[in-house]
Amino acid sequence: MQSETKRYFIVFIITSIIFGLAFWASSIFSSNKISQLQEIQEQIAIDILSTETRYALLEQTSCVHSVTSLEEEQGLSRELNDLARRLKFMESQLSPEDEDVLFIKKYYSLLQIKDYLLMEEIKDRCGENLFTILYFHQGDCDDCQKQSLVLDELVSQYPETRVYWLDKDVNTPAIQTMLSIFGISQGPTMVINDKTYEGFYTFEQLQEIAPEAFPVEKEEDTIVKPQTGQTETTKQIN
Amino acid sequence: MTSVADIVFYVFIFLALYVQVFFLVTYLEKRSFLKKKLQNPDYFPLITFIVPCYNEQDSVVSTVNSIKAIEYPKEAISIILVNDGSRDKTWEILQQYKNDSSILLLNKENGGKHSALNFALPYVKTDFVCSFDADTAIVPDALARAMMYFKNDPELDALGGAVLIEEPKTIIQKAQSIEYQMFSYSKKMLGLLGGVLVVPGAFSVFKKQALLDVGGYRHAHLLEDLELTYRMQVAGKKVSHSHDAFVYTKGPASLNALFKQRLRWSYGYINNTFDYKNAILNKKYGNFGMFTLPMTIIAYPAILQIFVLFWYNAIQLFNEKYIQYQALGAESLIPTFSLDFFFVDTTVSAFLTILLFGSIFLGIYLGKQISHIRRVSLRSIFWFVVVYSMMVPLWTLKALYNTIFGKTTSWGR
């Protein structure tokens, strides 16, 4: 019995080590991924700072030089999308309450709002043709999942479009202010050309809404009726 | 944040891994012994085969032929064929052996396998008894190999043989062939630990006295071989397993037949284990009480949990794809292969699942080594994973249902 008890104990130790290895490996990979997210985020911060700086320089003179049509601005749009996708995946991997994920999400939201304000200003002052969509979503909603997929596709087809991915449940004052400005109660809701679109919109419907930004390549005469549950309201930011 | 479901999952995976490590440690410890060249058999005591027959008209002749062809002194073997009130032509077919002096034919009213075995016991004149199924074929050297265990260990009372699936044809049989192969590893490990769960009715050798000491066979919820093993373990009889004495059984060919067989096994296991609940975690019974019984009990909720998780994930994946279909249409469902490591699942559960499957495949491999099987077909392993991951929870649940609501379970034929 003595040697038998020893066997039970040794097996317990070995199993614990193997078990611990699984946890260890998982945390190594997770922290690796989190630092990847942070890198993308830093890149976004630098890109925004760069836009801001260029705009500040040009502000002194005139709007002769375009700020937004640069290649790297399109790169920024892609980065915003990319980070949104990766963040969503990390939420499913770790948990939406994971501290690292939450922190990145907050910071990322603030960066996006900042870029949005900057773009609005550039549009107003210089009349530049940059198309933006504010997209409010939340976890655990099928329509949001659908809308996210459609917007992902939209940006990949029209890279000059900029989608701002704002999780309405992120508890930061800036987001909450945005929500009250646009009167948003639930996701998915998009703000396009100062108009609020609540509910799910298909790719084709979005093309209808903003034909100037999303030109349809083929001639199509189909009229898309808005689905039930969609509401359209106009609100101005002031 | 870790949810309760996660913790339950971790606990079961930990226990499942514990069992696998337990086997592996035992294997590594006894490796040299297992690899040792087999002794040439030189111990041939008198022995009697008891073959209960119930509706075995198609298989009993080849079974008797296989026994008659074994490499063992002819005069040392006698066979008792018990017709347990068959409704087919079994009894008529058995008449061809009536002038064979080594074969005794017995006929009785139908009363179940345990009654047929008990009916034959008083006719056994030898010190050794071999219980043998009428749909099983014995490998020529199996009995001689089995008897060497009794020679090497005079204390030994009961020995289970290694059962494999004979020429698997259907998908269901192929799946079983892998399962039996994996069993031959875990059974051998349990045998080395003195914690044999069951000496299979298909082929096992007993000292007659040991069998009589514990009182022969019982009805035992239609799983007489399991109950007899439990009773012997509890009575302090020495039970072991021989990995090198093979018999081949056909195994149910259809899913329905397999389901019925396993329902009977699960039902018998649950009820007999309940009857012997005092042995569970009882130090007095050594590894049988401390390891074998707890391990097999834990396997039940673990299997159910894996089943629930499997379907939960499958439904989630389906839902995700359905949403994608709704959003972007059917074309978007064509998978595009992007090698972005970022999106590879690296959760703890993913690693644990890989470990668990790894240990199962290791079990299959070591089973192959122990049983000296030359080739293992990957297709069979595939069918094993598919059939068992789907079916095990179903018959387990049905057996639980039958137990709780007092439904009887039948032999299914």
Beta carbons of A165 and A137 less than 8 angstroms apart = yes
CA–CA distance, B49 with B72 (Å, rounded to integer)? 13
Give which of A8, A14, A18 to mutate to test B binding, by max B Cβ within 10 Å: A18
Give the angle subtended at the CA of B372 by the CAs of B369 and B377, to the nearest 5°: 80
Is the model's pLDDT at A159 over the cut of 80? no
Cα nearest neighbour of B20 on chain A: A15
Q: How confident is the model at residue A126 (pLDDT cuts 50, 70, 90)?
A: confident
Beta carbons of B187 and B200 less than 8 angstroms apart = no
Beta carbons of B127 and B210 less than 8 angstroms apart = no
Give yes or no for B320 touching A (CB within 8 A).
yes
Give which of A8, A19, A203 to mutate to test B binding, by max B Cβ within 10 Å: A19
Give which of B3, B20, B287, B323 to mutate to test A binding, by max A Cβ within 10 Å: B323
Total number of domains in chain A: 1
CA–CA distance, B18 with B16 (Å, rounded to integer)? 5
Structure confidence at residue B125 (pLDDT): 95
For residue A89, give both structure tokens: 């995946």
Structure confidence at residue B25 (pLDDT): 93
| Residue range A72-119, pLDDT digits in tens | 666 777 788 888 888 888 888 887 778 888 888 888 888 888 888 888
List the 18-57 stretch of B: residues with Cβ below 8 A of A: 18, 21-22, 25-26
What 3-state class would DSSP assign to A233?
Answer: strand
Residue at A5 is within a domain: no
Query: In chain A, which residues have their Cβ closer than 8 Å to the Cβ of B1?
Result: 95, 97-98
Between the CA of residue A15 and those of A35, B13, B20, B193, B327, what are the distances in Å? 30, 10, 9, 19, 45
Residue at A13 is within a domain: no
Give the pairing of strands B239-249 and B203-207.
unpaired
For residue B39, give both structure tokens: 């002794």
Cα nearest neighbour of A11 on chain B: B22
What CATH number does residue A181 fall under? 3.40.30.10
CA–CA distance, B351 with B353 (Å, rounded to integer)? 5
Residue at B43 is within a domain: no
Structure confidence at residue A236 (pLDDT): 47
Which candidate, B121, B77, B285, B89, places its Cα nearest to that of B212? B121
Q: Which one of B287, B323, B342 has the shortest CB-CB distance to A33?
A: B342
Give which of A12, A15, A21, A30 to mutate to test B binding, by max B Cβ within 10 Å: A15
The DSSP string of A36-85 is HHHHHHHHHHHHHHHHHHHHHHHHTS-S-S-STTSHHHHHHHHHHHHHHH
Which candidate, B367, B343, B324, places its Cα nearest to that of B177? B367
Query: In chain B, which residues have their Cβ closer than 8 Å to the Cβ of A203?
Result: 328
Residue at A26 is within a domain: no
Give yes or no for A97 touching B (CB within 8 A).
yes
Is the model's pLDDT at A152 over the cut of 60? yes
The pLDDT mean for chain A works out to 80
Task: For residue B29, give its domain range.
Answer: 1-37+153-325+344-413
Q: What whole-number percentage of chain A has pLDDT above 90?
A: 10
Structure confidence at residue A67 (pLDDT): 59
Structure confidence at residue A63 (pLDDT): 64
Contact B346/A33, CB-based, under 8 Å?
yes
CA–CA distance, B297 with B16 (Å, rounded to integer)? 11
Contact A149/B332, CB-based, under 8 Å?
yes
Cα nearest neighbour of B319 on chain A: A142
Structure confidence at residue A105 (pLDDT): 86
Q: How confident is the model at residue A228 (pLDDT cuts 50, 70, 90)?
A: low
Is the model's pLDDT at A41 over the cut of 80? yes
List the 159-218 stretch of A: residues with Cβ below 8 A of B: 200, 202-203
Q: Which one of B10, B22, B350 has the shortest CB-CB distance to A11?
A: B22
Q: What whole-number percentage of chain A has pLDDT above 70?
A: 83
* Residue B74: CB atoms within 10 Å: 8
Query: Closest Cα of chain B to A52: distance in Å?
Result: 31
Give the pairing of strands B203-207 and B128-132.
antiparallel
Which candidate, B324, B346, B344, places its Cα nearest to that of B335? B324
CA–CA distance, A206 with A224 (Å, rounded to integer)? 10
| Residue range B16-62, pLDDT digits in tens | 999 999 999 999 998 887 777 777 899 999 999 999 999 999 999 99
Is the model's pLDDT at A226 over the cut of 60? no
Q: How many CB pairs under 8 A join A and B?
A: 80
**The three-state (H, E, C) secondary structure of chain B, written as one string:** CCCHHHHHHHHHHHHHHHHHHHHHHHHHHHHHHHHCCCCCCCCCCCEEEEEEECCCCCCHHHHHHHHHCCCCCHHHEEEEEEEECCCCCHHHHHHHHCCCCCEEEEEECCCCHHHHHHHHHHHCCCCEEEEECCCEEECCCHHHHHHHHHHHCCCCCEEEEEEEECCCCCHHHHHHHHHHHHHHHHHHHHHHCCCCCCCCCCEEEEEHHHHHHCCCCCCHHHCHHHHHHHHHHHCCCCEEEEEEEEEEECCCCCHHHHHHHHHHHHHHHHHHHHHCHHHCCCHHHHHHHHHHHHHHHHHHHHHHHHHHHHHHHHHHHHHHHHHHHHHHCHHHHCCCCCCCHHHCCCCHHHHHHHHHHHHHHHHHHHHHHHHCCCCCCHHHHHHHHHHHHHHHHHHHHHHHHHHHCCCCCCCCC
Residue at A164 is within a domain: yes
Is the model's pLDDT at A65 over the cut of 80? no
Query: In chain B, which residues have their Cβ closer than 8 Å to the Cβ of A17?
Result: none
Structure confidence at residue A238 (pLDDT): 40
CA–CA distance, A195 with A233 (Å, rounded to integer)? 6
pLDDT in tens, chain B (413 residues): 467 888 888 998 899 999 999 999 999 998 887 777 777 899 999 999 999 999 999 999 999 999 999 999 999 999 999 999 999 999 999 999 999 999 999 999 999 999 999 999 999 999 999 999 999 999 999 999 999 999 999 999 999 999 999 889 999 999 999 999 988 899 999 999 999 999 999 999 999 999 999 999 999 999 999 999 999 999 999 999 999 899 999 899 999 999 999 999 999 999 999 999 999 999 999 999 999 999 999 988 887 887 788 888 888 888 888 888 887 777 777 776 666 788 888 888 889 888 988 988 999 999 988 888 777 889 999 999 889 888 888 899 899 899 998 876 666 55
Give yes or no for B327 touching A (CB within 8 A).
yes
Contact A22/B348, CB-based, under 8 Å?
yes
Residue at A214 is within a domain: yes
Cα nearest neighbour of A32 on chain B: B342
| Residue range A166-215, pLDDT digits in tens | 888 888 888 888 888 888 888 788 988 888 888 888 888 888 887 777 77
DSSP type of residue A197: E
| Residue range B267-305, pLDDT digits in tens | 999 999 999 999 999 999 999 999 999 999 998 888 788
Task: For residue A100, give its domain range.
Answer: 32-234
Could you tell me the maximum CA-CA distance found in chain A, to the nearest angstrom? 90
Beta carbons of B223 and B269 less than 8 angstroms apart = yes
Contact A11/B326, CB-based, under 8 Å?
no
Beta carbons of B201 and B164 less than 8 angstroms apart = no
Residue at B100 is within a domain: no
CA–CA distance, A135 with A171 (Å, rounded to integer)? 16
Query: Closest Cα of chain A to B13: distance in Å?
Result: 9
For residue A213, give both structure tokens: 């930004």
Structure confidence at residue A74 (pLDDT): 67
Half-sphere exposure of B398 (CA within 13 A, CB side): 16
Give the pairing of strands B77-84 and B103-108.
parallel
CA–CA distance, A189 with A182 (Å, rounded to integer)? 10
Query: Closest Cα of chain A to B325: distance in Å?
Result: 9
Structure confidence at residue A169 (pLDDT): 84
Give yes or no for B274 touching A (CB within 8 A).
no
Q: How confident is the model at residue A232 (pLDDT cuts 50, 70, 90)?
A: low
Q: Which one of B290, B324, B346 has the shortest CB-CB distance to A30?
A: B346
Query: In chain B, which residues have their Cβ closer than 8 Å to the Cβ of A36?
Result: 342
Beta carbons of B147 and B44 less than 8 angstroms apart = yes
Is the model's pLDDT at A66 over the cut of 70? no
Contact A10/B352, CB-based, under 8 Å?
no
Structure confidence at residue B1 (pLDDT): 46
Average pLDDT over residues A32-50: 86
The interface pTM score, or ipTM, of the predicted complex is: 0.86
Total number of domains in chain B: 1
The residues with which B384 forms a beta bridge, in sequence order, are none
Give yes or no for B286 touching A (CB within 8 A).
yes
Contacts with B209 (C-beta within 8 Å, 6 or more apart), sequence order: B127
CA–CA distance, A169 with A184 (Å, rounded to integer)? 12
Give yes or no for B355 touching A (CB within 8 A).
yes
Contact B290/A8, CB-based, under 8 Å?
yes
Query: In chain B, which residues have their Cβ closer than 8 Å to the Cβ of A30?
Result: 346
Residue at A21 is within a domain: no
Give the pairing of strands B103-108 and B203-207.
unpaired
Structural element, H or E, at residue A238: none
Give yes or no for B356 touching A (CB within 8 A).
no
